[in-house]
Amino acid sequence: MNIDTIIFYFFGSFSIISAILVVTLSNAVHSVLFLIVVFCNVAGLLLVLGAEFFSFMFLIVYVGAIAVLFLFVVMMLNIKINPIKIDNFSIIPIGIIIFLVLISQIISSVDNHVTLIENNCMVYIPWLIENNYLSNIEVIGTFLYTKFCILFLVCGLILLVAMIGAIVLTMHQRSIVKKQQVSTQLVRDSRGVIKFIKLRK
């Protein structure tokens, strides 16, 4: 067993344990934190399998955006433990179905893994040798910025228009609110600012 197989099983076992903790923990903040651990372990698995572009995108999108958004939303809502007890017997059939589906997927993947090892088709990525070749990120970047540069710029413009549209839709212009008019204040005569009023005694 080489170092790549050990790293693969390490990340895989930790991702399974973290996923179980995400489902079973009653505290929502702890569940989101273990969800971030699951995403990091899956990114490590993708990195070991040679898909470094998907690994880094997984970290940027899921860990850097979605999981942090979940964490902020959970902490802002201040979700407390629900005192109402849920009947566990009503959700047992759904749990059994999901468990059987996951077990069948795991058994099929293990069988494929064993057959690939027996046929000597399972090849891990030797990272020391891969330093001399082009990586997936370099190849995808070359295609995006050369052959598909027009489509890439069009996608960026569409995202920019969507962002501007979201900003415009959230800005509520109310006519009732009194606003400061700086130009009127600057052009007024300073001599008429102070007025002396005689009060009657």
Tokens 């998907």, residue located? 54
Tokens 């959700």, residue located? 91
CA 8 vs CA 41, 43, 112, 124, 130: distances in Å: 10, 11, 15, 10, 18
Integer Rg of the chain from CA: 30
What is the full per-residue pLDDT of the chain (201 aa) written as tens digits?
Answer: 677 778 888 888 888 898 888 888 878 788 888 888 898 898 888 888 877 788 888 888 888 888 877 877 777 776 665 555 666 677 788 888 988 998 888 888 777 766 666 666 555 556 556 666 677 777 888 888 888 888 888 988 998 898 888 777 766 666 676 777 778 777 777 776 777 777 776
Tokens of 64: 């850097």
Instruction: Please check whether residue 25 is in contact with residue 31, taking contact to mean a CB–CB distance below 8 angstroms.
Output: yes
Least Cα distance to 33 among 61, 78, 70 occurs for 70
Report the pLDDT value the prediction gives residue 114, as an integer from 0 to 100: 64
Report the pLDDT value the prediction gives residue 4, as an integer from 0 to 100: 74
**pTM of the entire predicted model:** 0.53
Main-chain dihedrals φ then ψ at residue 19, nearest 5 degrees: -65, -40
Q: CA-to-CA distance for 6 and 41, rounded, in angstroms?
A: 14
Report the pLDDT value the prediction gives residue 136, as an integer from 0 to 100: 72
Q: CA-to-CA distance for 80 and 28, rounded, in angstroms?
A: 8
Instruction: Please check whether residue 40 is in contact with residue 59, taking contact to mean a CB–CB distance below 8 angstroms.
Output: yes
3-state secondary structure of 17: helix
